[in-house]
Chains A and B, each alone.
Chain A
Amino acid sequence: MSDEILTPEEILSRRFVSSANSVQIVTGFQRYERPVYDHDAKFAPCRAGCPTGHDIATALFLLSQGRPELAHEVFRADSPFPAVTGRVCYHPCESVCNRGSHDQPLAINALERALAEYGPLAPEAPAPIQSDKTVGVIGAGPAGIACAYHVRRLGYAVTVYEANELPGGVLQYGIPPYRLPREVLARELTSLRKVGLEFRLGTRIGEHIGFGELRQKHEALFVAVGLGRPRALDVVAGSMDCVDSGVAFLRAVSEGAAKRVSGTIAVIGGGDVAVDAARSARRLGATRVTLCCLESRRDMPAHAEEVEAALREGIEIINGVVPTAVEGGPAKAVVTLARVRNVGRRPDGSMKWSLSSGTLEPLPAARVLCCLGQEPDCQFLPAECWENGRVAVDAFGQTRLPGVFAGGDLVGLYNVVNALGSAKRAVVGIDSYLRGADSGQALPSIRLGDQGAFSMEAYRQWRAGAENLPSATEQVEVADINLDYFPKAPRPHLPRLHESQQDGSFSEVNLTLVEMQALAEAKRCFHCGLCNMCGNCLVFCPDSSVLPRDDWGFDIDLDHCKGCGVCVEECPRDAMSMVPEHEVRDDGSDQPHD
């Protein structure tokens, strides 16, 4: 036998067989741009538009995955009580939501409420005290609570001084229970006490304790006493006991001390206080409620949703009028109204107008509620702190008194969420002041957009000494979203108690979305600029060059990525960008390298 029987190895050597793995061939050299997961450099417009900088995209992602408690935690990183803001916030986030340019904006406010309800948090243990310096907060309204909350979590002991018997400010004494049930507020306050907030209630500055004493006691102070003095209507004839301020009326409602009313109630004013007063009056038995305001329907400072609710409840609104006289009459009072034009607002917040032609029927009323805005009721701050009737502060809440910071309505803001935002900025100011640091240094690392929003988590990392924090410099626009992945879908109809079932009670009118609905709506969120591990990049890469990490996210195999850009194009939410090679290479070249 010859040895010409070929062995399998010999046969194989006579065939063209390629068995080495192609991975050994480097194809990355041909690239002139590369994909980068730069979601850390991006922020969603909702976050920039939220005065208190909630990371809405992340929270809604967590909610959409059935983890409302984690979403709740995300909100709590930047504000103290999502269950409250989920009811009373005027949601500027929704106006800038990218989805709004596609079909309808996300019902973010309703979802904030839902995640707080469906994701209750275990009580948070107080953060360890890390400084012997303490902070005093004057005023337990939204701004004061928020400041105390963030400051305590940064490790400072904080005491909140509140003149009223209960904390909450406008939350407790202003906003009626049908908008913010008191049980919800109480629950949130209990949870906040567990965080380590210490309240000294029934304590008025100047009466029970001196301002100077507080300055001695605490290394820094935050003043957020709000606007305690309602403006009076100057055309009222003498003192008429059927004429009240709306603020006082609402306080009575909140304390459960409001008496039933009957007949017609006239409400003067076009803001939220006016609408709250009107709707409360309705519930207390008024047969007719007429709201008279200077502004046109479109320009009313009250929120559109509140106005619509008022109209649904049968409240009559007369726009573009001013009371020229309020006199005694058979049914207690008569309000004479005149038409106005050229309505405007002065720097100190008061209104100006010119009378127009045309007369109206005089309006008889059993009660007249004046809701003309408020002025500060604060005597303890020196004159140099004031400007145009409000306390002057810098970008981080520092007043003209060193170590004294201020926020909320007192500094000229309006609305609960703006108060929260100002308090959060003041916390940066306070913390920098107490550490002897420059608050402006932190800004590039923490800022989101240019409306003052910032990430508290980023601030914590920065102050802990983290270097090379990614700066979120790029806002995700709707043009950056791959809309092909989002078939059009409407937002849900927000459930509420029908007018016929309200029965004159102060039961909450707006209801929480059913959990399934909330999850579905959260899924509608683009999650702008967030990597939610959808995997499109990995699935569509023709070169198998997207590799999942063990924990979260992906890496690009730069030995093989050819820079085709498909991954970036197919990322639905702009969590990736293509970057020219010379921008990322150390030598700044585009040339092929080994």
Chain B
Amino acid sequence: MDAALQRLKIGPFAEDLFHPGHNACPGCGSTTALRMVLNACGRKCVFVVPASCASLYFCPSDTSAASVPVIHTVFAGAFAEAEGIAYGLRAQGREENVVVWAGDGACYDMGFSGLSGAAVRDADILVVCNDNEGYQNTGGHQSSATPQDALMQNGYNPDDLVGSSRRKDLAEIMASHGVPYVATASAAYPEDLSAKVTKAMHMKGFRFILLLTPCVTWGYESRVSVKLARLAVETGYFPLYEVDAGVRYRITHEPERRPFEEFAQLQKRLRRADLRIAKREIVQKWEDLRFKASRYPEQFHLRAVAG
């Protein structure tokens, strides 16, 4: 290729705000997604990070891997803390977005009340949950985001039939709070993810984006990290959609509905799982989603509903 083709060059980001040198595992799905989110957020923001793998990979060996201020905090406190930062900034007339980068542990479990509280108070924050379906930083422990029957360090023991627990549908829980914006996104669909983050960054009030990010503790070869994120979507397991004001649903990607086995067979943690459970979940979720997405026509206006 030569100079004649210069105009065909790609340039996905204006600048890369995430630096190498961090100590995330090779093939980490979380950092793959974080890089996209951070670059979509831009410089004019502050990140709040509760206890998670991110507490380590944002600041390896006393350096910083991000070109934005990052405030680390305790496991359950990130949401109220971010809210407080936002209040303080707005009182000073500053417009920086406050973004929480939290894992499923903080969102689904320990920080659940804080998350819910911040939502009902319409805290002016964007919460991005990188859900890798467990407490992975400690080696792969069960959370209430873990799929039923997944083999974790603790939890489900197939020989025991004890410890298997359901998982929450956090996107729906947050949508039911009636907050301005809830969305699901995946690093395997960069344009969709960037569009959603950009939209959220231009809104006010409580915004929530749930990402399904594969983790090497799931037991896969590092190279299929993005493939797994894609298969999660294409099997219907992780639908990509957004909800405005808690009522207006829009499915942003139509998956092929590939067999769930394609997703499961690449991971050791689902080796002993009864896949019918997940398949049932998928069917129910999509029935639900289709209904909700059909509820309001394209010309939906908030004012019309209120008045």
Contacts and interface: CB of A to CB of B under 8 A. Distances in A.
Interface string A541-576: 111110010011100010110111110111000000
A23 interface: yes
B18 interface: yes
A566 B62 contact: no
Interface of B: 1-6, 8-12, 16, 18-24, 26-29, 31-32, 35-36, 59-65, 187, 190, 221-227, 230, 234
B101 to A, nearest CB: 14
Contact of A552 (B1, B22, B36): B1
Interface string A7-27: 000000000001111111111
A584 to B, nearest CB: 18
B230 A484 contact: yes
10 contacts: A22-B60, A22-B64, A25-B23, A540-B187, A542-B31, A544-B20, A564-B26, A565-B27, A565-B221, A578-B223
Interface stretch (A123-131, A226-234, A460-468, A531-539): A531-539
B12 A538 contact: yes
A551 B3 contact: yes
Contact of A569 (B1, B8, B226): B226
A570 B227 contact: yes
Given A539-B36, A548-B10, A566-B223, 6 more contacts: A22-B63, A24-B21, A559-B20, A564-B26, A565-B27, A568-B223
Contacts of B64: 18-22
Contacts of B223: 564-566, 568-569, 578
A22 B227 CA distance: 28
Contact of A70 (B4, B9, B225): B4
Contacts of A538: 10, 12
B263 to A, nearest CB: 12
A506 to B, nearest CB: 39
A534 B221 CA distance: 24
Given A566-B222, A570-B227, A535 B10 contact: yes
A65 B10 contact: no
B18 A544 contact: yes
A248 B152 CA distance: 81
Contacts of B22: 22, 25, 27, 543
A30 interface: yes
B3 A26 contact: no
Interface in A1-46: 18-27, 30-31
B23 A27 contact: yes
Given A27-B22, A70-B4, A544-B19, A564 B27 contact: yes
Contact of A542 (B1, B24, B61, B63): B24
B21 A25 contact: yes
Given A23-B19, A26-B21, A560-B21, A565 B222 contact: yes
A18 B63 contact: yes
A535 B16 CA distance: 14
A402 B271 CA distance: 69
A102 to B, nearest CB: 14
Contacts of B26: 30-31, 542, 562-565
Contacts of A25: 21-23, 60-61, 63
A370 B126 CA distance: 81
A27 B5 CA distance: 34
Those 3 A-B pairs whose CB atoms lie nearest each other, nearest first: A565-B223, A560-B20, A564-B26
Interface residues of A, number: 45
A544 B15 CA distance: 11
Interface of A: 18-27, 30-31, 62, 65, 67, 70, 484, 532-535, 538-545, 548, 551-553, 557, 559-560, 562-566, 568-570, 578
A21 B8 contact: no
Contacts of B10: 533-535, 538, 548
Among A532, A542, A557, A559, the one with the most B-chain Cβ atoms within 10 Å of its Cβ is: A542
Contact of B31 (A21, A534, A543, A548): A543
Contacts of A564: 26-28, 222-223, 225
Given A27-B20, A551-B3, A539 B190 contact: yes
A532 B5 CA distance: 11
Contacts of A65: 5, 8
Nearest to A567: B223
B1 A535 contact: no
Given A543-B31, A544-B18, A533 B9 contact: yes
Contacts of A540: 32, 187, 190, 226
A26 B20 CA distance: 9
Contacts of A559: 20
B27 A27 contact: no
A114 B270 CA distance: 51
Contacts of A30: 26
A24 B224 CA distance: 28
A561 to B, nearest CB: 8
Contacts of A70: 4-5
Given A539-B12, A542-B27, A548-B10, A566 B226 contact: yes
A538 B62 CA distance: 26
Nearest to A568: B223
Contacts of A568: 223
Nearest to B31: A542
Given A535-B10, A535-B12, A539-B12, A21 B19 contact: yes
Contacts of B28: 542, 564
Nearest to B4: A70
A8 to B, nearest CB: 15
A542 B21 contact: no
A21 B32 contact: no
B187 A24 contact: no
A284 B23 CA distance: 79
Nearest to B29: A542
B31 A533 contact: no
Contacts of A484: 227, 230, 234
A541 B34 CA distance: 11
A551 B1 contact: yes
A401 to B, nearest CB: 42
Given A21-B19, A22-B22, A552-B1, A544 B63 contact: no
**B2, B20, B22: which has the most chain A beta carbons within 10 Å?**
B20
Contacts of B227: 484, 569-570
